[in-house]
Structure 1
Amino acid sequence: MELNGKVTHFLVVSCVMAISGGLMFGYDVGITGGVMLMDDFLMKFFPEVYERKSWNPKDLDSIYCKYNDVKLQLFTSFLYLPGVLATLFASHSNREMGRKPTMVIAGVLYLTGLGFTVSAQYLCFLILGRFLSGWGIVMANQTVPIFLSEIAPSEIRHGLNITLTFISVIFGIIIASLVNYGNNQWIKFGWGWRLSLGLGGIPALILIIGCFFILETPNSLIERGCLQESKTVLRRIRGIDDIKEEYDEVYLKTCEKAVEHPYRNLFKRRNRLPLVIVALFQMFQQFTGINVVIFYGPLFFNTLGFGNEGSLISVIIISCVYLIATMISIYHFYDIGRRLLLVQAGVQMLLGLVGIAIILFFKVPDHSSGLGMTYEFLLVVLVCVFVSAFAWSWGALGWWIPPETFPVEASLAAQIFTSCVNLLFTFAIAQASLSMFCYLKFGIFLFFAGWVMVMTAFVIFFLPEMKDYPVAELSNEAWRNHWFWKKFDDENLPPRRRTRRTG
């Protein structure tokens, strides 16, 4: 439906806030690997790791175990540990208080955690700060996309939300990589790691300040029974008086989603199939192995003989490739089709992972001192091959496909379930990656290659092509007509037998 309206300052500020929310998350994801590479940071909190890093490779049991430390992995994984509770809290806060207060709480929590982290003198405060920052990030990631989708005009809503959310996260990763490189080059006084982490507070401050210049969304006001105020807000957001048609649409959609028991409804018989699909997609996304590169890229390259500078430059190159590939996915997946993208990317990821494993097997023994320039270049190329394939497939589609499997009345609860499952698997991979690299060596990439084969086979045999269906019919017709999933459709299942109690 074409709706009239102006580009008001409320929409502009909302876009800025969406960008800041994505930057906050992306920056925090990208900054940790470079910080863990800094000698001053390791000396203060992880002296055993610093000692192993300083040794000659011949004196180590294996170079693959240089960074193997449970507490060091906690520095990364604790960002995702509060994920489930934070997601549920954000859902409750959005429903009871609205989008604006929830975003303010998210920003304050992130800044509080950042304060603990940047000023930490002991490991316990460092980890506590990561926990609080993770709580804030999860709340922001849950709320900012909802806020933007409810503020933006319907004709640009989907594209604007997806573009700003995904692109800003990757821009955050690139900025973090550049900051780490700059600190490694120019900050030599022992506080470079504090500066790297502290700069993450800038997008959080923008998010908090921006909340004082925006209005609550009409959808949120309708949810809480403020109908007259919601009409006034919609007029101000659009900059026009004639908002009846859009208001009726917003009111209808909000009422459709406002079920009495959303989580109980989510686990009804008709939603069990979508739940399975969602859980599998989130597990598959994490078991591609992408977070070994995104979280621990600098440590991975440094382990293989790259210097600090070479490791950080490699990560910058890979992050830029990630951005370009994501933009390809955003603007072309409707034309190409989800299945074709996922299958093609599965083959490409498999080639990249196996190629990396082969180089490590033949050229990086336990006491290797370096690959040499030719193989270093080839390794970066293979990582780029892998990352680009992930970015235009599971990176974006892993989030787009799950909501398309649920009916409207279960969509909000489904979004929360999707986030919870993803965060649980993200925590597990973040906590295990360096240990897996130590014990499996090159085999870690064969491990993930095996999973890529499994998920590609799943796509070939069990994922229907959705590009030929209207968005409104995806949750019904696309899955109901599939040769396998139609067996589990309510219309094809016998009714439950109900037994009457006697006596």
Structure 2
Amino acid sequence: MTSTSSEGSSTTLPPLVPGPHRKRLGTVALIATFGGLLFGYDTGVINGALLPMTEELGLTSFTEGVVTSSLLFGAAAGAMLGGRISDGWGRRKTIIALAVLFFVGTLTCVFAPSFGVIVVGRVLLGLAVGGASTVVPVFLAELAPYEIRGSLSGRNELMIVIGQLAAFVVNAVIGNVLGHLDGVWRIMLAICALPAIALFVGMLRVPESPRWLASQGRNEEALAVLRTIRSDERAEAELTDIRLTAEAERSQERIGWRSIFSSKWLIRIVLVGVGIGVFQQLTGINSIMYYGQTVLIESGFEAQAALIANIAPGVIAVVGGVIALWMMEKINRRTTLLIGYSLTTICHFLIGIASVALPAGNPARPYVILFLVVAFVGSMQTFLNIATWVLLSEIFPMHMRALGMGIAVFMLWIANAFLSLYFPSVVDAVGITGTFFGFGVIGIFAVLFVYTQVPESRGRTLEEVEEGVTTGSIYTISKRRARLARTE
């Protein structure tokens, strides 16, 4: 069977066929995405836990930012370390280790007696979150058939927003039912231990990535894994492609940082990956997910009402994620990103305009801003978040996939961390109006970046993407220039 993408590349592999191997692939993906669920819960739970934590620990606006962003700085380090460790240990063992780290970090936070200890616990959780954000998408992409790679890899981002929604619901229920108790935020944080245990137990029964095994020369083991998640004919054909690519890379002796600086195209794809990750964060999506209650209080809601209203962005995030998975195999990645950044930029400017047109005290103000925030989150989750993580898991060659993903995600988390650290102070200084107008301006630059720099990967095997990246042929803009040059 020959499959042709919209960009003109093609691959010949036996077709996907139904059978128990398809169910096995779905089960493996579900277990791995518990890492995404933990990612989402740990980043979202602070949204409702921050106010009671502030009251008990006596936090200021700046130390609130420190508590929130400490997880994110830890995640930046975890993204780099996770990628490198998974290259040596394998994807599966690394995810098991991350499950243990999630559990230890959770217990540290739950029993923290002071500001300093809670920061230590949040850093530990950040290391786990960052590692999961790098390793789980790579693991899923390396397991998936290219025909459904986008939707399978995208399940991790869907689990992230499900985790965030779970955090918002748990926060609202516990905050309204047990809000009178001292240390209620500790109960909110403790829930995270349950999916950590599920991830650990589940990954003990999950196979290693066949592409990682092939990269280590363990071809028989790679074939055995592929036969559990593909038909026999498809498994053998895929292993042939994977083995040839792995052998070619080993013969070139290109590893780690040297592989990046050996080629202008590899340098470019790393910079593209960094841009994709950083611009996703500079939409301000995680400022809404972490400080949504603060934004809604600033808009005019009472504290308890804001806690409940904050569930709405979480619900639309999950709905948008489901739609995004459906679109992954139907719409090109570049097109999805361009639509997403255009819509989120419009929402940013509308929120800024609404905060000017509806001054504090206007009864319509909180509801209009809530509606626009929901529209922003819906646009973000439908068109940007899943596409961003899928692209990052696809665009790097196998010999530097975990490293390249680690660099891009490291920069993503650094942007997230600094934005979260200073977001409360920025809102205090310039209000919602200035904050969202600023996000809108950044969104314009994001549209230009995607249009001129981001390559298309839909409809290609990872091996075809790798060939296109290493030769530079994958870049749409480069091919357009080449066609123009030929016509001249």
Q: TM-score range by the shorter chain?
A: 0.7 to 0.9
Give the structure 2 partner of residue 126 of structure 1. 118
- State how 1:228-243 maps to structure 2 within 5 Å: 228-235=220-227, 243=235
In structure 2, the partner of 1:65 is none
Q: 256-265 vs 377-386, which deviates more?
A: 256-265
Larger radius of gyration: 1
- Residue 195 of structure 1 corresponds to 187
Q: Is the 8 A contact 2:25 2:229 kept in 1?
A: yes
Distance 2:137 2:49 in 1: 29
Identify the match of residue 19 of structure 1 among 33, 40, 51: 33
Question: How do 1:56-75 and structure 2 match up within 5 A?
Answer: 69-75=61-67
Deviation at 1:451, TM superposition (A): 1.0
Q: Describe the shift of the 1:343–1:17 C-alpha distance in structure 2 as closer, same or farther (beyond 3 A).
A: closer
Query: What are the within-5 Å matches in structure 2 for residues 239-278 of structure 1?
Result: 243-255=235-247, 260-267=254-261, 268-278=263-273
- Matches of 1:396 and 1:411 in 2, distance apart? 18
Q: Which residues in structure 2 correspond to 1:8-157 (within 5 Å)? A: 11=25, 13-38=27-52, 41-46=53-58, 49=60, 69-152=61-144, 155-157=147-149
Structure 1 residue 237: deviation in Å? 5.5
Please say which of residues 108-117 and 232-241 is displaced more in the overlay.
232-241
Q: 1:255 to 1:289 in 2, by over 3 A?
A: same
- Residue 70 of structure 1 and its aligned partner are, at CA, apart by 1.6
* 2:432 equivalent to 1:436: no
The answer to whether the 8 Å contact 1:342/1:393 transfers is: yes
Aligned mates of 2:398, 2:84 — CA distance in 1: 19
TM-score, with length taken from structure 1: 0.81
Residue by residue over 1:252-289, the C-alpha shift from the partner in whole angstroms, topping out at 9 and shown as x without a partner, is 34445655323211123232332332332222222212
Q: 2:316 aligns with which of 314, 321, 330?
A: 321
Q: Which residue of 399, 408, 412 maps to 1:422?
A: 412
Q: Which whole-Å CA distance do the structure 1 matches of 2:215 and 2:331 have between them? A: 37
Whichever residue aligns with residue 21 of structure 1, its letter is G
Verify the 8 A CA contact 1:337 1:465 in the aligned structure 2: no
1:284-303 counterparts in 2 under 5 A?
284-303=279-298
2:124 counterpart SS class: helix
Equivalent of 2:166 in 167, 175, 178: 175
Aligned residue type for 1:101: K
Aligned AA (1:283): V
Deviation (angstroms), 1:429 = 0.8
- CA shift, 1:138, in A, is 1.6
- Residue 412 of structure 1 and its aligned partner are, at CA, apart by 3.9
3-state SS of 1:477 partner:
coil
Alpha-carbon distance in structure 2 between the residues aligned to 1:76 and 1:226: 42
Residues in 2 aligned to 1:467 and 1:154: alpha-carbon distance in whole angstroms:
10
Which amino acid is the alignment partner of residue 57 of structure 2?
F
| More divergent stretch after superposition (405-414 vs 27-36) | 405-414
1:179-231 Cα deviation digits (max 9, x unpaired):
00101121132232111101011111111111222333333333344444444
Other structure's SS at 2:181 match? coil
Deviations along 1:93-114, one digit per CA (max 9) or x if unpaired, are 2222222321121111111111
One-letter identity of the residue aligned with 1:42: T
Change (3 A) 1:218 1:128: same
CA displacement at 1:77 relative to structure 2: 0.8
* 1:362 Cα deviation after fit: 4.4
Aligned length: 459
**What aligned pairs does 1:206-217 form with structure 2 within 5 A after superposition?**
206-217=198-209
2:187 and 2:91 mapped to 1: Cα distance?
A: 31
Q: Aligned partners of 1:242 and 1:477: how far apart in 2?
A: 27
Cα distance, 1:156 vs. partner? 3.9
Q: Distance in 1 between matches of 2:106 and 2:215?
A: 33
The alpha-carbon deviation at position 73 of structure 1 amounts to: 0.8
- Larger mean CA deviation between 444-453 and 304-313 belongs to 304-313
Percent of pairs identical after alignment? 22
Letter in 2 for 1:419: V
Q: Is the 8 A contact 1:283 1:425 kept in 2?
A: yes
- Aligned partners of 1:6 and 1:239 also within 8 Å: no
Is this contact kept in 2: 1:83–1:135, CA < 8 A?
yes
CA deviation digits over 1:4-57, x for unaligned, max 9? 66337854542332231111011112111111133xx2222125x5xxxxxxxx
SS in 1 for 2:21: coil
Q: C-alpha separation between the residues in 2 aligned to 1:233 and 1:334?
A: 25
The letter of the residue matching 2:345 is L
- State how far apart, in whole Å, the 1-side matches of 2:422 and 2:438 are: 13
Between 74-83 and 238-247, the greater mean CA deviation after superposition: 238-247
**Alignment-derived partner of residue 451 in structure 1:** 442
Alpha-carbon offset, residue 338 of structure 1: 4.4
Corresponding residue for 2:5? none
Q: Give 1:322 shift.
A: 1.9
Structure 2: give runs of 5+ residues left out of the alignment: 1-12
Q: Which runs of 5+ in 1 are unaligned?
A: 50-68, 490-503
Given that residues 273 and 405 in structure 2 are in contact (C-alpha distance below 8 angstroms), is that contact kept between their aligned partners in structure 1?
Answer: no
| Root-mean-square deviation over aligned CA pairs | 3.1
Aligned residue for 1:280?
275
Match of 1:61 in 2: none
The letter for the 2-side match of 1:140 is A
Show CA shifts across 1:353-410 (max 9, x none): 222223323444xxx5x442x2222111111222222223332333344566555554
